[in-house]
A = this chain, B = another copy of it.
Amino acid sequence: MSLRMALLGLLTVSGPSSGYDLTKLFERSINHAWQARHSQIYPELAKMADGGLVVIEEEGPRGRKTYAITEEGSRLLREWLLAGESSRSIRDELALRAFLLPTLEPEDAVAVLREAVLSCDAKLDGMEAIRRAQDGKGFGRYALELGMRQTRMFRDWAEETAEEIERSIRS
């Protein structure tokens, strides 16, 4: 259901788009909360078209198909968002790694944490670039802000924890 809703959301905001566009949009906007490959997106769009949630608006030149959200699609998205559920199911591989860190020798744990900090910095640079490109306007603004905060928080946690472990090694 989540993938479907994500696609409906992207179509709402970005207007009619191709599967290819949506794949790119996924990577650029929603990536820190959800991922999907084109091999998942194309069949899902086809199913949604079957169900009347989207329509093929145009079959362009190079076999390109443009999908647009329908009334029914909008209604479904709205209902889903308003139906709380708030289950907060998270899968975060980096956090999992962090959790498993105490099984390592302290020195190794510190090394992994230091590397995580660098990786977060790189990611933050990327997000910053996207933010500048969007220039404050645009849909993904709130979400990007959230993603950056989360990444920054993880980064800081990793750095602090590395220092804490280093202190405990020395003593």
Contacts and interface: CB of A to CB of B under 8 A. Distances in A.
Contacts of A6: 96, 99-100
Given A86-B94, A86-B116, A90-B33, A103 B13 contact: yes
A95 B157 contact: no
Interface of A: 2, 5-6, 9, 12-13, 29-30, 32-35, 77-78, 81-82, 84, 86-104, 108, 111-112, 115-116, 119, 123, 139-140, 142-143, 145-147, 149-150, 153-154, 157, 161
Given A29-B99, A103-B77, A146 B142 contact: no
Copies in the complex: 2
Where chain A touches its partner, the secondary structure class is helix
Contact of A35 (B81, B89, B104, B123): B89
A123 B88 contact: yes
